[in-house]
Amino acid sequence: MVYRNVEDIEDDLISLSQTYPTISKIMELPQKSIEGRTIRYIIIGKNKENTSNKSILLTGGIHAREWGGSDICVSFAADILESYSIDKGLRYGDKYFDAEQIKTIVEKLNLIILADANPDGRAYSQSHPTRRMWRGNRNLQDSSCFGVDLNRNFDFLWDFKKCFSPNADVHTSNDPCDTSQTYCGKFAFSEPETQNIKWLLDEYDGIGHYIDIHCFGGSFLHSWGVDQNQSSNPEMNFGNPNYNNVRGEDEDDLYKEYILKEDLKYIANLGKVFHDSIRDSSRKEYEVKQGFYLYPTSGCTDDYSYSRYSLNHSQKVFGFTLEFGKDVPGDFQPPWNEMEKIIIEVSSGLVAVSSYVTTH
């Protein structure tokens, strides 16, 4: 087997929804891609019609070259649906989830899975051997440019030139032809692909967790990606313009991003659940850490989703970036025999997180 292409992902999700119609359905998102592709997502759950039901959002393929995220999403969906339908548990290596755990996930949660958030980019990366490291979508200023990095296009400190210190190593660019391929777009949510993810967060007010799947390194990243966390000064926060031009520098006292202690405790507990399940399935030690310690970022999925609660959205969404591929040779597309192992270990972590969320 090899990595799925755009059509494979679409066909697999449609097939799953047709095979398991009582506990899943496939839906179209409101915005088509830049190149006019219809983008769909699948919902898994006994309460799939209830937009307020407790839910987890999963996305894969936001970065085009990270092919495996979409395959993880499809495989995870298939595992949950089949396991529930035959009333049997799931085994991933040495990690086992019994049938009752799977039943609880399906009957208490909605799993909202956008397996291929950036189909244009994926199709381009997979069909052009010399451009397989393509990262963005296909919104080009001209043929020499690289598209928009969708994971820099969300409305969270998007204007990084204003919001961050000039000395901060923010991995974002306002140049559409920057070879780092981190162009943030003309404005926040300028791209139809990111508008779709915002729509999901708006439409499904039961979403309390969002996991965005990326490659590589083997880590489970949590907010904030802006600066070091602190829980003592609530005035020092991303919405306070008094701190513009000072965010993003490590080991300084000028700015640290505010986060509630109870949120940090919950994040640590959930991260441990993910870490332990990965370890039990594959003996891999995925690192759980604050996103800032990878590098400071703006406009990303995890911080945007978590920031919404502070901006008067009723539901708090804990956002995470899952970077798969611990101790794996190669680049953003591990050899398929390695990717098969990664799918097993990451699926184990996702089932563990889903099970934990049902009781918390």
The domain spanning residue 55 has which CATH number?
A: 3.40.630.10
Q: Count the domains in the chain.
A: 1
Residue at 325 is within a domain: yes
Pick from 267, 199, 254, 202: which is nearest to 228 by CA? Answer: 254
pLDDT at 117: 98
222 backbone dihedrals φ, ψ, rounded to 5°: -130, 170
Whether 261 is covered by a domain: the verdict is yes
Asked if residue 1 belongs to a domain, the reply is no
Residue 219 near residue 286, CB atoms below 8 Å: yes
State pTM to two decimals. 0.97
Q: Which domain holds residue 245?
A: 6-358
Does residue 260 fall inside a structural domain? yes
Residue 17's alpha-carbon distances to 11, 42, 50, 282, 355, in angstroms, are: 10, 7, 17, 30, 22
Cα 338 to its chain centre, rounded Å, is 21
| Per-residue model confidence (pLDDT) at position 312 | 76
How many Å apart are CA 281 and CA 213, to the nearest integer?
18
Residue 144 has what pLDDT? 86
> What is the rounded distance in angstroms from the CA atom of residue 94 to the CA atom of residue 101?
16
Is residue 248 exposed (0-12), middle (13-18) or buried (19+ Cβ within 10 Å)?
Answer: buried
209 DSSP β-pair partners? 56, 318
CA distance 256 to 261: 14
Residue 100, in any domain of the structure:
yes
* Residue 287 placed within a domain: yes
Write down the residue that tokens 């997502």 correspond to. 41
Helix axes 336-358, 261-282, angle to 10 degrees: 140
Q: Closest by alpha carbon to 328, among 320, 317, 340, 319?
A: 340
Q: Kindly list the averaged pLDDT for each block of 10 residues, start to end, along the chain of length 360.
A: 95 98 98 98 97 97 98 98 98 97 98 98 96 96 91 98 95 95 97 98 97 95 97 96 95 93 98 98 96 95 96 88 87 93 97 97
Which residue type occupies 59?
A: T
pLDDT at 40: 98
pLDDT at 206: 97
